[in-house]
Amino acid sequence: MALVGSYGPKRFVVSKKKIYTVSDVNLSSSIEFEDKENGKGIPIKRKKQENGEEITINIKLVSQCCNVMDEFNSWKNLKAKAVPYYFLLGKRKLSTYKLVITNVSLADIQMAAKKEVISSATLAVTFVESGSKSSPASSKKATEENKKLAAKATRNCKTTKKKTGKIANLKS
């Protein structure tokens, strides 16, 4: 049995008895821009945010290798858990960061003759990056800045109360 790839508990394999593998992979990355004016009435584009990578895979499911609806439900359950994993193709990560499933769909459904069973279908699964390695560092930095601002605000409140007290005494 040859391991083609994996995502968390899911393994894509090819053997004499079973073919369960990715038929195609689509990778995309995008940036959002916003239109602003430069002060002279000329519109310019400014980078708003960079979206993480998005990966969509298609898996051809055939009833001889697996129960199509059980496999679809299995992927839906993984999506509902929202646990990020690395997506490996061969022994290589497709993304720098762990991915979480955002969409699972079943298309090209073929019914078995004289049965109410799905004989084949194409399963499409979409993944997006779940975060970056720099997030914890920036979160730690933001927490430190928030503590400093809170301390400063506390000092400002104390001096304001003192001033208010002095003004009240002067008016009396």
Number of domains in the chain: 2
Q: Are residue 61 and residue 84 in the same domain, yes or no?
A: yes
The answer as to whether 37 is a domain residue is no
Q: Are residue 103 and residue 85 in the same domain, yes or no?
A: yes
Q: Which long-range contacts (CB under 8 A, 24 or more apart) does 27-34 make?
A: 27/53, 27/54, 27/55, 27/94, 28/53, 28/54, 28/55, 28/56, 29/53, 29/54, 30/54
Across the range 125-145, mean pLDDT stands at 61
- At 161 the pLDDT is 47
Q: Are residue 96 and residue 109 in the same domain, yes or no?
A: yes
Could you write out the DSSP letters of every residue in 66-100?
Answer: S-HHHHHHHHHHHHHHT--B-EEETTEESSSS-EE
Q: Are residue 83 and residue 60 in the same domain, yes or no?
A: yes
What is this structure's pTM?
A: 0.65
What is the rounded distance in angstroms from the CA atom of residue 172 to the CA atom of residue 162?
16
Q: Are residue 58 and residue 99 in the same domain, yes or no?
A: yes
Q: Are residue 90 and residue 119 in the same domain, yes or no?
A: yes
Out of 65-74, 118-127, 134-143, least confident range: 134-143
Of the spans 40-44, 81-85, 141-145, which averages the highest pLDDT?
81-85
- At 155 the pLDDT is 53
The boundaries of the domain holding residue 17 are: 2-29+48-131
